[in-house]
A and B are shown apart, each in its own frame.
Chain A
């Protein structure tokens, strides 16, 4: 059983198109993330949701909109794709620990990645 799965694995599209990437985790985790890994392998957090609530939104263009229909799913929709959006996008999940106002970082489980190529 795949713990964190993403679809599609590869996505090739034209500039200006709108596309979505889906992520699902079956680990029972409360927190999910989207990361972008560029061509230099630099991994940067984009968004994080805890129990369907957005808790991290890192200066990402508003063309990127995450949606969490339930705590096992976190999808990423990208409007008006640009060349610079080409990258590998990773979904991840982790347990929630900590109390209100003070969270503790935990081990993250990553999906296999979605390689997005914008032509």
Chain B
């Protein structure tokens, strides 16, 4: 099966709430990245966390990485309607340019 799998597949929350989505992967990685895709658009890079990092912040985003469990989580705090999108994790396999994308989490933030 594919390298990255995310859960939940879909998430619906109220504006102002926090949204957490998780990603699991299977092999050694250089880094893990999170991307956002708005409907009908290309993917936009959000944050990159390297394999020797455990946590990273960017604005309202917080990413954690647990290499022992081969998992990562993306937390979006104080969500807004504009955060409605699909979120993908992507892992770069060690020593390669091969990126494996997860199945994505569809987030809907209700105003």
Chain B binds chain A: yes
Q: Chain A interface (Cβ within 8 Å of chain B)?
A: 4, 31, 33, 35, 40-45, 48, 50, 55-56, 58, 90, 92, 94, 101-113
Asked whether B43 lies within 8 Å of A50 as measured between CB atoms, the reply is no
Q: Which candidate, B13-21, B63-71, B95-103, is the interface stretch facing chain A?
A: B95-103
Q: Is B77 an interface residue (CB 8 A)?
A: no
Q: Which of chain B's residues have a CB closer than 8 A to the CB of A42?
A: 2, 101, 103-104
Residue of B nearest to A110 (CB): B42
Asked whether A103 lies within 8 Å of B96 as measured between CB atoms, the reply is yes
Query: Please, how many angstroms separate the alpha-carbon atoms of A111 and B42 in the complex?
Result: 6
Q: Is B33 an interface residue (CB 8 A)?
A: yes
Interface hub of B35, B41, B101 (most chain A Cβ within 10 A): B101
Other-chain residue from B33, B41, B98, B104 in contact with A45 (beta carbon distance below 8 A): B98
Q: Chain B interface (Cβ within 8 Å of chain A)?
A: 2, 29-31, 33, 35, 37, 40-45, 48, 86, 88, 90-93, 95-101, 103-104
Mostly helix, strand, loop or mixed at chain A's interface? Answer: strand
Asked whether B99 lies within 8 Å of A105 as measured between CB atoms, the reply is yes
Other-chain residue from A44, A55, A90 in contact with B97 (beta carbon distance below 8 A): A55
Other-chain residue from B30, B93, B96, B99 in contact with A108 (beta carbon distance below 8 A): B99
Asked whether B88 lies within 8 Å of A43 as measured between CB atoms, the reply is yes
Query: Please, how many angstroms separate the alpha-carbon atoms of A90 and B37 in the complex?
Result: 12
Residue of A nearest to B29 (CB): A105
A103 and B42 in contact (CB under 8 A), knowing A41-B86, A43-B101?
Answer: no
